[in-house]
Amino acid sequence: MSETVETVVIGGGAMGSATAWQLARRTRQVMLLERFAPGHLRGASHGGSRNFNTAYADPSYVAMLAEALPLWRELEAESGVRVLDQVGIVNHGPHAGYDLVAERIRAAGFEAEFLSPQGAGERWPGIRFDGRVLFNPSAGRLNADVAVAALQSAAATAGADVRHNTRVLRVQVIGDDHVRVTTEQSVVDARRVVVTVGAWTTGLLGDQVALPRLVVTQEQPAHFALRDSSPEALARAATHWPGFNHNLDRRAEGSARWYSPVYGMYTPGQGVKAGWHGAGPIVDPDARSFQPERVQLAALQRYVREWLPGADADAIEPISCTYTTTANEDFVLDRVGPVVVGAGFSGHGFKFTPTIGRILADLATDAAQPLLPDLTKFALNRA
């Protein structure tokens, strides 16, 4: 079967779904192709929680944050579901840039305040704090599963053709305004294709687009039950337990047991989520074990025992997901001919999802780019 459409978006995770939403809102003809079934666990967009962390100093990311917050609220209004809870995020541990972070995000309209470790500990006794604490009340927790479903629902309502269980086998550039997408079911000719397939980016586009190196790892965070599991404690945690980012001092005695900074948040119904950042083994996304690496998991349990007194380190539910990252963790947001590429979002990208969708939709439609963010740092042929 042969089909023709203006724009094909390949990959129905957060970024692809947001792109389809943005294109459909502009009354563009768009087809969203997702390889797996709704709610699958194979990629990087599943799960009940992501931090909406506002602790950035880089002007491009601050600008993207300032745009993302109202867009998340627009999605909630269109879909009728709650996606973002602004429960705040605490950042602690040695970090020379916290003062600049506070200055930059305040200028963008976000809140920031500094607390002593003692004061923060009294306010949030479930967390032990490491030095001065930067608290961002405007930050919060996103429900990833709900967000992706809401984006796809809003896109479909606006006219997008959303297809699951549709594996793309090949992307072939025919001309400047012509690209052919071959799936297991059909061949689709389009003016533009937007590729947002995460861990599968290099495999799908490697012979068509010169990509920066994208490293795919299997990350292994976990949920830990609260020590106090009374209904009152669970209800309070859902609204009062902030997200957290701990910049562990790797130079300190005994620091070799820590793999990276630690991030986390309370996930209602599942417990306190904690994980290493980009420390998992390199994997083939089609040949993952989905099993946690035991040494890293044990180290994560030690972290919980030492730094999260409100969580039970022995009541654990491991999680498996993929990270796809560039060398400096800056995203790929660029276009070559008719191919638009969005990649390398793992570790800190989810919060920007609706902004990323807007940017990729602009690239696909030749829309005039706003002054911010500066997209040069996100180019395919970066320095």
pLDDT tens per residue, range 201-238: 999 998 889 999 999 999 999 999 999 999 999 999 99
Q: What is the pLDDT of residues 295-308, one digit of tens each?
A: 999 999 999 999 99
Asked if pLDDT for residue 253 goes beyond 60, the answer is no
User: According to the model, what pLDDT value does residue 250 have?
Assistant: 67
User: According to the model, what pLDDT value does residue 120 have?
Assistant: 98
CA–CA dist 381, 383 (Å, integer): 7
Q: Which band of pLDDT confidence, cut at 50, 70 and 90, is reported for residue 257?
A: confident
Bridge partners for 271 per DSSP? 267
**CATH 3.30.9.10 is right for the domain spanning 89-138+216-325:** yes
User: According to the model, what pLDDT value does residue 368 have?
Assistant: 76
Asked if pLDDT for residue 252 goes beyond 70, the answer is no
Asked if pLDDT for residue 374 goes beyond 90, the answer is no
- Fold (topology level) of 2-45+146-209+329-378: FAD/NAD(P)-binding domain (3.50.50)
Question: What is the domain partition of the chain in residue ranges?
Answer: 2-45+146-209+329-378, 89-138+216-325
Average pLDDT, the chain: 95
Q: Which band of pLDDT confidence, cut at 50, 70 and 90, is reported for residue 9?
A: very high
Q: What is the pLDDT of residues 262-279, one digit of tens each?
A: 999 999 999 999 999 999
User: According to the model, what pLDDT value does residue 367 have?
Assistant: 86
Q: What is the pLDDT of residues 151-189, one digit of tens each?
A: 999 999 999 999 999 999 999 999 999 999 999 999 999
Gyration radius of the chain's alpha carbons: 21
β-pair type (271-276, 222-226): antiparallel
DSSP string, 31-87: EEE-SS-TT-SSSSS-SS-EEE-----SHHHHHHHHHHHHHHHHHHHHH-S--EE--
Closest by Cα among 320, 360, 374 to 23: 360
CB 301 within 8 A of CB 319: no
